[in-house]
């Protein structure tokens, strides 16, 4: 169980995290979402005692992380796959960490096997690809067999097979009763993995709820209609109060009316429809809509 309470971090005049409160429960995969610069990494770093909060608390099972002795046995974390010394081999890197926590030597071989790096265990990390480094980071997180796991952008650099493997791993870890907290700036990644979402923007909480509830938040769903009589139908729909835009030849996008009502109108006026489809907002769109106001670095906008 991770508890974040009124957590705030200020860097000079910048509020990186502002009064953030949420809870991450065991047995579930919880996604931690937000645009770039939303404060996700800062929050995770404060959870791990790497950065000191300006105010507020972040605890893991009721304790501050810095009060724990052997961190790996309590919390496994992958913050940045680059947080390694490139001159060491994967095996040496992991065995130094295992020794610091008094973990048996065989754990190193076990986690290397689990992440698929057993064959390159003796090679220098400097020669690893980003995907291999991510796997090494995941191996580090699993080393102490911890009840709580934190992953910051773990999918970066993984190939499609690796992405599938990571998703299954997260599901399995959660099914074993562990707390799994995974940050990402990509909503689509969480759609397939997470049970719950904590969404932040500009350091503030936007949502803390189940994935389905979150998706239902997207308000601007639309209906696409294809008909030979676009002009007639458009006129009819407009009188019913709908907003109609033409998408080109024989195709309309309608907002403000349900697909059922559009079909009914067409039927009464003997208009032929070739297609009638409700376009439900995806998780991605719900996310974009909710974080639109809080994007820190927006492309193509005058400053």
Partner 1 sequence: MSTTTMAAPTPARIRNLFAAEWTKLWSLRSTYWVLGVGTLLMIAASITDAIRTTSRWSELMEDLRARFDPMSVVLGAPSAALLMLGASSVGVLVVAGEYSSGLIRTTFTAVPDRRRVVLAKVGVVAGTMLLVGVVIATISFFASQAVLSSVTAGVSIGDPAVLRSLASDALLAPVAALVGMAIAALLRHTAASVITSCVVLVIVPSFFKITVYPWVDDIYNAFPLYVWRNCLSMLDPITRPYFPTVTGSWIVFAAWPLVGIVVTAVIVHRRDV
Indicate which single residue of 3, 5, 26, 157 sits in contact with partner 1 (rule: CB under 8 A): 26
Among candidate residues 190, 217, 188, the one with its CA nearest the CA of residue 289: 217
Subset of 91-150 contacting partner 1 (CB under 8 A): 92-93, 95-97, 99-102, 140, 145-148
Indicate which single residue of 5, 15, 19, 50 sits in contact with partner 1 (rule: CB under 8 A): 50
Query: Is residue 54 near partner 1 by the rule CB under 8 A?
Result: no
How many residues make contact with partner 1 (CB under 8 A)? 50
Among candidate residues 116, 211, 105, the one with its CA nearest the CA of residue 162: 116
Reduced to 3 states (helix: H, G, I; strand: E, B; else coil), residue 211 is helix
Q: Which of 76/218 has CB closer to partner 1? A: 76
Reduced to 3 states (helix: H, G, I; strand: E, B; else coil), residue 28 is coil
Indicate which single residue of 12, 14, 69, 119 sits in contact with partner 1 (rule: CB under 8 A): 69
Instruction: Kindly list the distances between the CA atom of residue 293 and the CA atoms of 33, 123, 210, in Å, as whole numbers in the listed order.
Output: 15, 46, 22
Among candidate residues 143, 170, 141, 165, the one with its CA nearest the CA of residue 83: 141
Nearest approach in angstroms of CB 168 to partner 1 is 18
Cβ contact 207:290 at 8 Å: yes
Query: Is residue 288 near partner 1 by the rule CB under 8 A?
Result: no
Q: CA–CA separation, 293 vs 200, rounded Å? A: 11
Reduced to 3 states (helix: H, G, I; strand: E, B; else coil), residue 256 is coil
Indicate which single residue of 6, 66, 172, 292 sits in contact with partner 1 (rule: CB under 8 A): 66
Interacting residues toward partner 1 by CB under 8 A: 26-27, 45, 48-52, 60-61, 63, 65-75, 77, 79-80, 82-89, 92-93, 95-97, 99-102, 140, 145-148, 176-178
């Amino acid at each position: 169980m991770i508890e974040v309470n009124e957590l705030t971090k200020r860097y000079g005049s910048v509020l990186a995290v502002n009064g953030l409160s949420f809870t991450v429960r065991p047995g579930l995969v919880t996604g931690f979402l937000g645009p770039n610069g939303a404060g996700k990494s800062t929050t995770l770093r404060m959870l791990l005692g790497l950065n000191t909060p300006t105010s507020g608390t972040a605890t893991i099972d009721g304790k501050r992380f810095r009060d724990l002795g052997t961190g790996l046995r309590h919390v496994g974390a992958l913050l940045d796959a680059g947080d390694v010394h490139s001159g060491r081999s994967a095996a040496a890197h992991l065995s130094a960490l295992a020794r610091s926590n008094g973990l048996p030597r065989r754990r190193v071989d076990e986690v290397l096997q689990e992440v698929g790096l057993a064959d390159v265990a003796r090679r220098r990390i400097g020669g690893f690809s980003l995907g291999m480094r991510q796997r090494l980071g995941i191996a580090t997180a699993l080393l102490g067999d911890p009840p709580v796991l934190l992953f910051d952008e773990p999918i970066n650099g993984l190939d499609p097979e690796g992405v599938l493997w990571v998703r299954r791993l997260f599901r399995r870890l959660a099914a074993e009763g562990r707390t799994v907290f995974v940050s990402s700036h990509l909503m689509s990644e969480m759609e397939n993995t997470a049970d719950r979402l904590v969404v932040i923007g500009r350091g503030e909480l936007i949502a803390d709820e189940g994935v389905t509830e979150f998706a239902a938040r997207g308000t601007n769903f639309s209906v696409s209609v294809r008909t030979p009589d676009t002009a007639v139908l458009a006129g009819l729909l407009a009188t019913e109060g709908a907003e109609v835009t033409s998408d080109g030849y024989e195709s309309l996008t309608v907002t403000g009316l349900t697909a059922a009502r559009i079909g009914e109108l067409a039927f009464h006026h003997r208009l032929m429809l070739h297609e009638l489809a409700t376009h439900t907002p995806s998780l991605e769109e719900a996310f974009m809509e909710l974080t639109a106001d809080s994007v820190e670095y927006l492309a193509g906008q005058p400053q």
